Amino acid sequence: MTAASGGELRIICAGGFRAAMEKIAPIYEKASGTNIILTFGTPAATREAVSKGSGFDAVVVTSVSINAEAAAQLHSRFVVAKSPVGIGFSPAFGAKPVGTLDEFVAAIRSARTIGLSDPKAGTNLGADILAAAEKLGLADDLRARARFVMGPGSVVSAEVAKGAFDAVMTLASEIITVPGVVWGGVIPDAMGLGTPFEGGIGASAAATEAARAFLDFLRAEEARAIMRGTGLVTV
């Protein structure tokens, strides 16, 4: 564990990393004496916040959030973890095997409704899923069943847990950590989907050393084990 540093640390964090961060941050706070202030957001929201260049010391955001403007406001970037895309089911619908492409196709076709994040909510994952399905000849099947929800994957998963839809497709970390959703599994590699999360220090950080110490902790096995427990793949 990193030595105590004290002070305050402001972190911008992707919604898909939230479940892990909400477990990691208190552990680090207790050990270091650092008060961590977290701001969560969609890829679009975090991109905008980082691009402004001020008001944060460190980030853990999706790679797609880091455009040229955001990248100019960061240094010491590295990939913290990756989240595969998975599928979950409502309790009434029940789990279906999805380990092979044939099983995945059968699961999609057996569902009446599949929840996806609406791109208007600031995340393109729903649109990316449909585009990937197009390459496999599944676009018509998925589009006919798709129901878009104005929110990140965790919000869609919560709707599935309540039985609003038969299934949800989103980041695995936004399914596994939502109570009530029946975890189906990671979708086949043929879909070519998955989201890396990058850590970095703000170029205008007020607490550069504290940010560096926290990012070092994210590389430690204690933090990595927490990430894996929330469905992330550590690298």
Residues 121 and 25 in one domain: no
Q: Kindly report, residue by residue over 78-110, the tens digit of the pLDDT.
A: 999 999 999 999 999 999 999 899 999 999 999
148 within some domain: yes
Which CATH number does the domain housing residue 154 bear? 3.40.190.10
1 within some domain: no
Q: 101: which residues sit within 8 A by CB, 6+ positions away? A: 136, 188, 190
The total number of structural domains that make up the chain: 2
**pTM for this structure?**
0.87
Residues 70 and 95 in one domain: no
Residues 158 and 199 in one domain: no
Residues 61 and 146 in one domain: no
Q: Kindly report, residue by residue over 66-75, the tens digit of the pLDDT.
A: 999 999 999 9
Q: Kindly report, residue by residue over 178-209, the tens digit of the pLDDT.
A: 999 999 999 998 898 999 999 999 999 999 99
Q: Kindly report, residue by residue over 214-233, the tens digit of the pLDDT.
A: 999 999 999 999 999 999 99
Long-range Cβ contacts of 223-227 (<8 Å, 24+ apart): 223/24, 223/27, 223/28, 224/81, 226/20, 226/23, 226/24, 226/27, 227/20, 227/24, 227/80, 227/81
Residue 6 has pLDDT above 80, yes or no: no
170 lies in which domain range? 85-191
Residues 50 and 76 in one domain: yes
